[in-house]
């Protein structure tokens, strides 16, 4: 009896296993499979991109369960894809400016109007040509317009094209390539007038989605010189760099001063233990400040370089690493000296972290600090802080004052673009882009004018509380899309002057950070806690909360 029971169990188990393996040998059809495009083979080079757009509800194909492989895309279809990708609210009822988009019953009517509202379409003609196939040049222009860098692109139209066959909209096509959105048809040609197949557009827009969705992965904040009023924000950053020491010479000897003696504003404050405890789960680094004169002196002498590196390693004891901040360096000798200092520091500090602050390289028509070997610094350092800020004029000539020159933005987006391009250069830049932190700084520049002439040779630098105070009075708030910088204008009855103040706000900060992300920079640094604008969103001064949430 017992044998028969075992035999039945054994036979049932055998039948079950046969059933399982038999079922496993046939393809399982699911609801998801029923929605696959029948004209997209599993091994097609663009299949992943195509289904990404489908997942995002950007396209459902051309009908009959087909995507339309090999078909060209129309201008109307492309702006529709863009509107959905950017998640814009679709404008159903509005008057079109295009004579060939006047029929509200056409499926593309609201999408063209929505794209027009968001400045995607900048055609000067009174027709849109919705059913024409879109060209590669038109795609580049529309994508750059959609992500908001059309003014920068126009400013770059005078640059040299990456491609031999591009003579129109150079800035737009260069940016589209820089942002990794679209490549050439070969190494030297872009094919600006070529049309694009639907699968090619899918790949381009999938990359665009990835790039605009990229998140900041590392945020560094400096804590120095009266930062305590924003100490609670420490928790929103990944690393904190404490400006609590300065290289100095005392009786001819190099020291690292952490006290307030000798008017050292980079001193270790009373109650610093509380700040350290707030940073307990962050990377904590000690910044070593230095005057430009002392920096040059240290880096010009091999003995001083070694001494400076040894001091940095010694004082890093209770920290996770150090921040090297030698500013204002020019010339090959100081470049060599800085590299040697960093090599010695690495040997002395071991596995502790080294952050290095560097000046940006400028345009060819600008004088800049050129003693920063990005490639070598990037090899040695854990993070490289790009100080792409404070571009405003520090002093005007008499001629400029008489001409009323007041167009001095703090951080023109074009200069920030060139700075990022230089530090990411494949030949001379930092090889690992994950090491790069784009720094945001909060300075201001105020000019007083009367009768069309500037009265102050050097700009006044009001703090942001004073600027917000002016905003809440009678100041006229404005924003330059060309520079991606805000400014206010007001009349001061006390001295009978017209005034302009350039500054930073949440829009200008976002413009720089988004540009950095599009250029594959995923880290930022902030100079400094204590002065980050923390005001109302209706005047775009909610910078601190925006930075905390990146």
Last residue of a domain, one of 177, 212, 247: 212
Integer Cα distance of 34 and 11 in angstroms: 37
Strand bridging mode 353-358 / 476-480: unpaired
What sign does the CA torsion over 415, 418, 423, 429 have? negative
Whether omega for the bond prior to residue 174 falls within 30 degrees of 0, making it cis, is: no
160 domain-assigned: yes
Contact 224, 266 (CB under 8 A): yes
Both 403 and 503 in one domain: the answer is: yes
Residues 6+ apart with CB under 8 A from 426: none
Residue 17 lies in a domain: no
The reply to whether 511 falls in a domain is yes
* Residues 369 and 342: beta-carbon distance below 8 Å: no
What is the number of domains present in the chain? Answer: 2
The answer on 172 and 97 residing in a single domain is: yes
Look at residue 535 and tell me if it is in a domain: yes
Domain boundary (178, 194, 212) is at: 212
* Rounded Cα distance, 326 and 305, in Å: 12
Q: Is residue 149 included in any domain, yes or no?
A: yes
Quote the pTM value.
Answer: 0.92
pLDDT in tens, the chain (550 residues): 444 444 444 455 444 444 444 434 333 333 345 579 999 999 999 999 999 999 999 999 999 999 999 999 999 999 999 999 999 999 988 888 999 999 999 999 999 999 999 999 987 789 999 999 999 999 999 999 999 999 999 999 999 999 999 999 999 999 999 999 999 999 999 999 999 999 999 999 999 999 999 999 999 999 999 999 999 999 999 999 999 999 999 999 999 999 999 999 999 999 999 999 999 999 999 999 999 999 999 999 999 999 999 999 999 999 999 999 999 999 999 999 999 999 999 999 999 999 999 999 977 667 689 999 999 999 999 999 999 999 999 999 999 999 999 999 999 999 999 999 999 999 999 999 999 999 999 999 999 999 999 999 999 999 999 999 999 998 999 999 999 999 999 999 999 999 999 999 999 999 999 999 999 999 999 999 999 999 999 999 999 999 999 9
Specify whether 237 is located in the same domain as 174: no
Are residues 433 and 535 located together in one domain of the fold? Answer: yes
Same-domain pairing of 384 and 523: yes
Per-residue CA distances from 455 to 401, 404, 408, 452 (Å): 7, 9, 15, 9
Q: What are phi and psi of 453, to 5 degrees?
A: -115, 145
CATH of the domain at 236: 3.20.20.80
Range of the domain at 121: 47-61+69-212
Residue 229 shares a structural domain with residue 338? yes
pLDDT of amino acid 368? 85
Does residue 166 sit in the same domain as residue 247? no
In a domain, 276, yes or no: yes
Q: Do 167 and 314 reside in the same domain of the chain?
A: no
Q: Are residues 101 and 224 in the same domain?
A: no
Reported as a single tens digit per residue, the pLDDT across 411-458 is 999 999 999 999 999 999 999 999 999 999 999 999 999 999 999 999
| 205 plus 325 within the same structural domain | no
Pairwise CA distance, residues 128 & 75, whole Å: 8
CA–CA separation, 37 vs 35, rounded Å? 6
425 is a domain residue: yes
Q: Which among 164, 193, 212 is the end of a domain?
A: 212
Same domain, 251 and 182: no
């Amino acid at each position: 009896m017992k044998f028969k029971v075992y035999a039945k169990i054994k036979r049932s188990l055998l039948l079950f296993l046969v059933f399982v393996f038999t079922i496993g040998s046939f393809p399982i059809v699911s609801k998801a499979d029923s929605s696959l495009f029948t004209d997209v083979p599993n091994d097609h080079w663009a299949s992943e991109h195509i289904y990404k757009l489908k997942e995002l509800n950007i396209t459902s194909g051309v009908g009959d369960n087909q995507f339309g492989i090999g078909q060209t895309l129309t201008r109307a279809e492309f702006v529709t894809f863009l509107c959905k990708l950017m998640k814009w609210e679709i404008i159903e009822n509005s008057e079109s400016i295009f004579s060939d988009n006047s029929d509200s019953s056409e499926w593309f009517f609201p999408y063209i109007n929505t794209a027009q509202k968001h400045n995607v379409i900048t055609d000067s003609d009174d027709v849109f040509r919705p059913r024409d196939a879109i060209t590669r040049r038109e795609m580049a222009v529309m994508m750059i317009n959609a992500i908001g860098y059309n003014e920068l692109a126009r400013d770059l139209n005078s640059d040299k094209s990456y491609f031999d066959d591009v003579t129109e909209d150079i800035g737009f096509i260069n940016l589209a390539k820089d942002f990794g959105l679209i490549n050439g048809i070969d190494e030297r040609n872009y094919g600006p007038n070529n049309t694009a197949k639907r699968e090619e557009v899918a790949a381009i827009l999938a990359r665009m989605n990835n790039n605009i969705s990229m998140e900041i992965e590392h945020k560094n904040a400096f804590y120095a010189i009266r930062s305590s009023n924003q100490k609670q924000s420490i928790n929103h950053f990944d690393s904190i760099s404490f400006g609590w020491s300065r290289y100095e010479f005392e009786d001819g000897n190099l020291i690292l001063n952490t006290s307030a003696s000798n008017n050292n504003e980079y001193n270790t404050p009373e109650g610093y233990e509380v700040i350290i405890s707030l940073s307990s789960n962050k990377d904590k680094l000690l910044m070593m400040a230095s005057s430009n004169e002392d920096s040059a002196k240290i880096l010009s002498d091999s003995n001083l370089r070694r001494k400076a590196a040894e001091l940095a390693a010694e004082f890093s004891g209770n920290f996770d690493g150090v921040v090297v901040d030698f500013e204002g360096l020019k010339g090959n000798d100081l470049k060599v000296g800085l590299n040697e200092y960093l090599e010695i520091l690495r040997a002395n500090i071991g596995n502790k972290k080294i952050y290095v602050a560097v000046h940006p390289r400028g345009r060819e028509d600008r004088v800049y600090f050129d003693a920063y070997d990005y490639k070598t610094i990037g090899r040695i350092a854990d993070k490289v802080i790009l100080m792409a800020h404070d571009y405003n004029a520090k002093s005007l000539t008499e001629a400029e004052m008489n001409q009323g020159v007041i167009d001095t933005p703090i951080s023109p987006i074009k200069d920030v673009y060139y700075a990022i391009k230089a530090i990411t250069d494949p030949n001379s830049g930092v090889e690992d882009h994950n090491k790069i932190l784009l720094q945001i700084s909060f300075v201001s520049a105020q000019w007083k004018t009367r009768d069309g002439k500037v009265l102050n040779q050097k700009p006044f630098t009001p703090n942001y509380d004073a600027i917000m105070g002016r905003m809440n009075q009678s100041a006229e708030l404005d924003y330059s899309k060309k520079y991606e910088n805000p400014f206010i204008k007001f009349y001061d009855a006390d001295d009978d002057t017209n005034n302009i103040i350039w500054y930073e706000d949440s829009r200008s900060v976002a413009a720089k950070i988004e540009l950095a992300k599009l250029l594959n920079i995923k880290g930022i640094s902030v100079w400094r806690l204590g002065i980050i604008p923390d005001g109302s969103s209706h005047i775009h001064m909610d910078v601190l909360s925006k930075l905390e949430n990146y």
